[in-house]
Structure 1
Amino acid sequence: MKKQSLIKGTVVLGIAGIISKFLGLFFRWPLQMLIGDEGVGYYQMSFPLYMFFIAVASGIPVAVSKMVSERNATGDYEGVIQVFKKSVLLMFVLGTGFTAILLIFSDPIIHFLKWDKKSYYSLVAIAFAPMFISIMSAFRGFFQGLQNMNYTAMSQVVEQIGRILVGVGLAYLLLPKGIEYSAGGAALGAAAGGLFGGIYLIIKYVHVRKEIKVFKVSDNKEILTKLLYIAVPVSLGAAVSSIMSLIDSALVPQKLLEAGFTYRDAAILYGQLTGKAFILINVPLTLSSALCASLMPIIAESHILNKKVDVINKVDLSFKLSNVIAFPSMLGLYTLAYPILDLIFPGQSAGFNILQYSALSIPFIILVQTSTAILQGVGYYIRPVFNLAVGCIIKIIITLSMVPVPSINIYGAILGSIGGYAVTCVLNIVFLSKKLKINMNYFQTMVKPAFASFFMIGSVVIIYWYVYNYTMSSRIACFLSIISGLIIYVPLIVVFGIFKYSYIKDKFLKK
């Protein structure tokens, strides 16, 4: 199978991620129209449990990607298949086990969490998702390890389409039986998406297996141990982030009450933070996640082959790409916060200043993700988790101390996120520089992308006001200025010498 460069793999996965998020709107909008806030509430109650499973199981695909890449680099094709088979077995046990737990203990879970009894159908329906998602994740890790992101990218789109068709279809068909049944039908869409995405990957695996030409594979028990050794720290890191979101949901509203806000005002502020700002910030993080998925197997391959210069070059390239994504995203969301919210949530642009300040955390979050992928790619699995835990403690301290201050309120939570990720970012980069003996070229990796981003955002603001004065529509002006910014930014990357055109042509455009 032909390998892809870091840039091409990132772009392929990034585009697929953005398409999937766009398709997700075709799930949310009809669902909201069909079952309203009450039905969506039943659906959402069970969703955090599903996301917790995703976080817990996230380490195994990463481990598969790294181990497959290492064995593929050394020509150990039998080892590639051994890793894949063990990962499928492990994910099957994990997925079906989690499904069984949710099905068996659904009533006690609802009673313990004090949910409405009508949420039962959503919980039972979404319980089937881990069984299918787990198998699909193992296949994705396999293809990422072979450094070809096309199949993973396509499976994301197929998964989302399956989720929409089945979820919205069942929600519509079951609506006459009651809103709770309709919400359960929508929840079943997650399992259907995993099934469809998995079937697509199985078909592609059959073709790839013919290329590898390994027919008999011996059993290697050490592989399972190595898989867990890599997967557990990665999963812990994801679980920490997931648990932190749950803690945040408990701390912030409570501390806003201490600041003198009413229950209603506290809910509004927290909703603006999580329901608007976080959703928009997650868009550039989709591109960052794509970079990390492409980066892990590439770094692992160079490291296992002891190509130190190549590792350093890949680190330099990954930080460049991170900042090329982070800086324009931060400046764009900060500068156009109001018109962007007005474009996406017509008539509900309140809280745009919360989005502005939340955008300042984007570079730190992306650099944490990238540096974590690099460290785990070269074999340092525990240290990034430890650094993230330190950052989480910083975040809690700042949130607890700042949010109760009336003049700071919700912005204390934003400061907590910025502070926590900034500390984690610094700890990761210092450790990385020390262990890999890298002298980071900050002018190339940070200053140049920052300058290009400032030039771009200046042009965007001028275009926005020109179009707005001509049309008197902030939505049209916002849409056209964002498109113009994308068109302007790409040439600026070449003009500022961040990437040479010949390099982009060779690594991405060349077939």
Structure 2
Amino acid sequence: MSKQSFLHGAMILVLASVITKIIGMGMQIVLNRIVGPEGIGLFRLVFPMLSMVLTLSTIGLPTAVSKVVAEAIVVGDRRKVKRIMVFTTSVITVLATFFTILVVSMAPWLTSHLLTDSRTYYTVLMMSPTILIISWSSILRGYFQGIQNQSPPSIAWILETIVRSLVTLTIVYLCMPDLLKASAGAMFGVLAGELAHLLYIGACYYRKFGLNKISFPPMPAHVKPESYGKTIRSLFEVAAPVLVAGIIGSLVYWSETLLIPRALIAAGHAQTEATALFGLYSGYAVSLLVLPTVFTYALSTTLVPAISEAIAIGQPTLVQRRLYQAFRFTAMLGLPASVIFTLLATELSTAIYNTPSAGPLLAIMAPVGFFIYLKSPLSSILQGMNRAGLATFFSVVGSLFKLAIIYWVASIPGIGIRGVAWSVVLSNVFVASAYFVTVTRLIGFYIDLADTMKILISTLVMSLIILQAKAVTAGIGASYTVIVSVTTGALVYVMLLFLFRALSLHTVKRIPYIGPLAAKALQWIPFVK
């Protein structure tokens, strides 16, 4: 079987994430400059609805597929994997078809009564075909995660991003200045990209990685084939808490989207201003803040099957090692990212979006970026340990806390959208801290204090370098300040990691495709080992 190691699979996803994020970010920059905050707000009002419908259509089964397939492969139970794929595909097809019809039929009511802006009607209609397409893709993606081969989903992800970006920008450019058509055109770009994703990952499954084309280890003599009923129960043991968490998360996401414009209107803004401010927050500040999640997404995706496999073969020390790898990887990337977004918030917003007004929102949220980036891997570890219910509980409490802050603070005149940013700060610190304490109590966790201090010192020095570079380049231009500050600070940071032996050539070499070449280039530096 073409199985990849935990780190190799994670790094493949990281590489794919970086590529797709670069392409997607380029598309987002152009799109934001074309349609402005109001157009972005109009487009993003629909996404929480799509998230909720997808949650109800897939009912947590993609995550269950990745976990249960990984467990079945460990014991060589090919028949169980076949049952999983047939059952989940059938269930999801029926559910996705039902919800597609429901959304189309209820589109006039949804846009006129539920959403705060009735101009989203055509965008909702254009969204509906993506429900079935994404649902099918999610099952195949779960299968590849289960066999621990991340290459096909990664390539499909890159292809989807390219197609979506090209189609979106072309249609939006042709539709402007009509924001209604531009918003619907952007959603058509999403549809085109998801279709390309499904066609590629489906072709990979049927041509090379189907059940009859991959090898299984021999089934141990003491292991008996599992009954059909037990297989279904094992799926829903994982899917049920994931579904509950997904529904709650989607409800919170949707509630937040519905609540923010209403709170802003209560604070004294007109409807169009409220939509524009929502777009400024979600499409500008948050889009920059979550850039590093391309790396933690890779960890989250590979952790569920990796943790499940470690538990299935009775290796608790391996689970602890996975946890430390996730923490260390997130700290090494998340801490410097938080510093960059905090110190250069306005400069980044100006250079990238030509919208400096997004900077203050980013500056409020950025200092807790590390907590935001760490939250997803910790949640995946809890899922892999069959503790998804605990993750759901803390997520619910944090989300209710966030909504309460938005309701009480964002509606105050003079505070408005800044109250939304503070809700992100407080809720994410709480949830990430609760996840970390829970995981630590369940399996124990030893932090290498010396290694962590090396990362913290490197980050601190990078901060001082960025502040100095920012002062030197003040008045020259935001783009120049960003380029000089980030480049200088990042180079110093990476070199300090090598100098402190917190990063090694061995780790660099393990990066798929580009690692060996990068290691050869770095080995000429005296202190790089």
**If the TM-score is normalised by the length of the shorter chain, which range does it land in?**
0.7 to 0.9
CA distance in 1, matches of 2:263, 2:426: 18
SS at match of 1:289: helix
SS at match of 1:105: helix
Q: Quickly say closer, same or farther: Cα 1:161–1:272, change in 2 above 3 A.
A: closer
Q: Which residue of 1 aligns with 2:230?
A: 222
Q: Which residue of 1 aligns with 2:86?
A: 85
- 1:306 to 2:308 alignment: no
List per-residue Cα deviations over 1:283-336 (Å, max 9, x = no partner): 112221221012111111111111111111111111111212221111110011
1:365 is displaced (CA, Å) by 1.8
Match of 1:232 among 215, 236, 240: 240
Identity %: 24
Match of 2:370 among 354, 363, 368: 363
Amino acid of the residue matched to residue 324 of structure 2?
D
Q: Quickly say closer, same or farther: Cα 1:161–1:47, change in 2 above 3 A.
A: same
Q: Which residue of 2 aligns with 1:211?
A: 213
CA distance in 1, matches of 2:226, 2:358: 59
1:473 is displaced (CA, Å) by 3.1
Between 1:289-298 and 1:456-465, the stretch displaced more is 456-465
Equivalent residues, number: 503
Amino acid of the residue matched to residue 155 of structure 2?
M
Q: Quickly say closer, same or farther: Cα 1:483–1:232, change in 2 above 3 A.
A: farther
List per-residue Cα deviations over 1:91-128 (Å, max 9, x = no partner): 22232222121223333434433777764443222211
Q: Which residue of 2 aligns with 1:283?
A: 291
Q: Which residue of 2 aligns with 1:414?
A: 421
Question: 2:41 touches 2:277 (CA, 8 Å); kept in 1?
Answer: no
Question: 2:111 touches 2:119 (CA, 8 Å); kept in 1?
Answer: no
How does 1:262-411 map onto structure 2 within 5 Å? 270-346=278-354, 348-403=355-410, 410-411=417-418
CA distance in 2, matches of 1:90, 1:454: 51
List per-residue Cα deviations over 1:447-502 (Å, max 9, x = no partner): 43322222233334444555x27x92331231243234444433433333434443
Q: Quickly say closer, same or farther: Cα 1:235–1:462, change in 2 above 3 A.
A: farther
SS at match of 1:148: coil
Q: Quickly say closer, same or farther: Cα 1:410–1:27, change in 2 above 3 A.
A: closer
Q: Which residue of 2 aligns with 1:490?
A: 494
SS at match of 1:328: helix
1:154 is displaced (CA, Å) by 0.9
Between 1:367-376 and 1:421-430, the stretch displaced more is 421-430
- 1:67 to 2:71 alignment: no
CA distance in 2, matches of 1:412, 1:120: 29
Q: Which residue of 1 aligns with 2:23?
A: 23
Question: 1:73 touches 1:301 (CA, 8 Å); kept in 2?
Answer: yes
Amino acid of the residue matched to residue 133 of structure 1?
I
List per-residue Cα deviations over 1:107-163 (Å, max 9, x = no partner): 343443377776444322221111111111111111112222221111111112333
Question: 1:319 touches 1:445 (CA, 8 Å); kept in 2?
Answer: no
CA distance in 1, matches of 2:33, 2:350: 20
- 1:142 to 2:143 alignment: yes
Q: Quickly say closer, same or farther: Cα 1:304–1:359, change in 2 above 3 A.
A: same
CA distance in 1, matches of 2:80, 2:468: 56
CA distance in 2, matches of 1:39, 1:107: 20
Between 1:39-48 and 1:52-61, the stretch displaced more is 39-48
Match of 2:252 among 227, 236, 244: 244
CA distance in 1, matches of 2:359, 2:45: 27
1:166 is displaced (CA, Å) by 4.4
Amino acid of the residue matched to residue 352 of structure 1?
G
Question: 1:19 touches 1:157 (CA, 8 Å); kept in 2?
Answer: yes
Between 1:163-172 and 1:184-193, the stretch displaced more is 163-172
Q: Which residue of 1 aligns with 2:482?
A: 478
Q: Quickly say closer, same or farther: Cα 1:399–1:93, change in 2 above 3 A.
A: same
List per-residue Cα deviations over 1:56-101 (Å, max 9, x = no partner): 4373222211112222223333333332333322322232222121
Match of 2:462 among 453, 456, 464: 456
Amino acid of the residue matched to residue 458 of structure 1?
L
Between 1:438-447 and 1:319-328, the stretch displaced more is 438-447
How does 1:123-142 map onto structure 2 within 5 Å? 123-142=124-143
Amino acid of the residue matched to residue 385 of structure 2?
V
Q: Which residue of 2 aligns with 1:197?
A: 197
SS at match of 2:455: helix
CA distance in 2, matches of 1:409, 1:184: 28
Amino acid of the residue matched to residue 202 of structure 1?
G
Gaps of 5+ in 1: none
Q: TM-score, normalised by structure 2?
A: 0.83
Q: Quickly say closer, same or farther: Cα 1:427–1:354, change in 2 above 3 A.
A: same
- 1:105 to 2:113 alignment: no
Amino acid of the residue matched to residue 151 of structure 1?
P
Question: 2:41 touches 2:283 (CA, 8 Å); kept in 1?
Answer: no
CA distance in 1, matches of 2:187, 2:383: 34
Question: 1:86 touches 1:223 (CA, 8 Å); kept in 2?
Answer: no
Q: Quickly say closer, same or farther: Cα 1:327–1:172, change in 2 above 3 A.
A: closer
Question: 1:323 touches 1:445 (CA, 8 Å); kept in 2?
Answer: no
- 1:426 to 2:430 alignment: no
SS at match of 2:445: coil
Question: 1:166 touches 1:192 (CA, 8 Å); kept in 2?
Answer: yes
